[in-house]
Amino acid sequence: MLHFLSDLHLSPDAPGITRLFLDYLAGEARSAERIFILGDLFEAWPGDDALDDPEDDFARAVADRLRALADSGTGVAVQHGNRDFLLGDRFAERSGATLLPDPYVLSLPAWQFVLSHGDALCTDDADYQAFRAQVRAPAWRAAFLARPLAERQAAAAAMRLRSEASKREKTAQAMDLNAAATDDFLRRHGYATLIHGHTHRPAEHDHLVDGIHVERWVLADWREERGEYLAWDGHRFARHALLPVAAPRLPAGAR
Ligand code: MN
C-alpha cells in the first residue's frame, strides 16, 4: 500500500493536527510500504537549523517520529510545498525521509503517477509565481539561510501573513490550477495520473488530453479535527479519514 498526503501545515499552533499526524505515523502509516508527503508538511520552515532551536523542540519531535516510522520499514518521501520550501538535507537525514524533486514521476509495474505539490501549475497567480521563482533561486536561498534563525522565523511569519492577506483578494480561479498549464503538464508527463495538493480542494478530476483520459487526484488539507490520506493498493485509490480519538464516555450516572 502506498499513501499520499499533503498540506498538513504542522505548527505548534495546531496541536490537533500534530496529534492526528503523530498517531497516524505510529498507526496506519506502519502498514504502508511507502508514504509520500506532497508538500506543506510544515506551516513554515525557516531552515534546517530549526532542528537545533533550544527554545522549541517541535521540529525535532516531528522529525524523530518520522524517523521512527522509517526505521520500522515504511519508506518516507517528502516534496517541498510553498510553505516548507527550505526543507533540506539535514532534515532528510534526521527524519529518514527522501526529499523528492517536484514534479516526481513514480513508475510502478502496473501504473504511472506524477507527483507534485501543485503550486507551480497555479499560473494565473502571477504574484505568487514571481515569489516562487525568487525563493527557489540558489542565491536567494543562500542569502536567506545566512541570516540568524530568529530573523528567519520572523520573516517566515511575515510571509505567512502576507500570503493570507493576498489570498483574500485573489479570485478562486487564480488560486486553482490553470487548465491549459495542467493539460500541457499531463502531456509532458506521458498522461500519467497526477496526484497533488496545495489547493485544499480535494477532488478527483478527469482530463481529456489529446483524446486520452487522464486522472487528477487532489489531496485534502488537514484540519484540527480531521486528517486524510489517499491510499493506493495497486489497483485503486481510497481516501482514508483520520479522526481524533474520542474521549472515553462515562456510563450514565457515573459523574
Ligand atoms: Mn501549498
Query: What is the rounded CA–CA span in Å between residue 142 and residue 145?
Result: 5
Provide the number of structural domains found in the chain.
Answer: 1
pTM across the whole model: 0.94
Cell of 198: 496545495
pLDDT over 90 at 189, yes or no: yes
Ligand 1 centroid–CA 17 distance in Å is 16
- What distance in angstroms lies between residue 76's CA and the mean position of ligand 1's atoms? 19
Q: Give pLDDT, residue 134.
A: 95
CA–centroid distance, residue 70 to ligand 1 (Å): 24
In a domain, 250, yes or no: no
Give the per-residue pLDDT at 110: 86
Q: Is residue 221 part of a domain?
A: yes
Q: How far is the CA of 211 from the centre of ligand 1 (A)?
A: 30
Q: Could you please report the per-residue DSSP string of 2-56?
A: EEEE----B-TT-HHHHHHHHHHHHTGGGG-SEEEEES-SBS----GGGGG-TT-
Beta-bridged to residue 226, according to DSSP, are 223
What pLDDT is recorded for position 168? 82
Return the closest-CA partner of residue 50 out of 24, 12, 101, 6.
12
**Protein residues within 5 Å, CB atom, of ion ligand 1:** 40, 81-82, 198
Which pLDDT tens digit goes with each residue over 135-167? 999 999 999 999 999 999 999 988 888 888 888
Range of the domain at 54: 2-242
For residue 12, tell me if it sits in a domain.
yes
- Average the pLDDT over each of 1-5, 86-90, 213-217, 243-247 and give the range with the smallest value: 243-247
At 99, list the grid cell.
526529499
CATH of the domain at 53: 3.60.21.10
Residues 6+ apart with CB under 8 A from 153: 44, 46, 50
Residue 247 lies in a domain: no
Residue 220, in any domain of the structure? yes
48 domain-assigned:
yes
Residue 155 lies in a domain: yes
Per-residue pLDDT at 248 exceeds 80: no
Alpha-carbon distance 244 to 124, whole Å?
37
> Would the pLDDT of 95 be above 90?
yes
**Mean pLDDT (whole number) for 226-234:** 97
CA 254–ligand 1 middle distance (angstroms): 46
225: in domain = yes
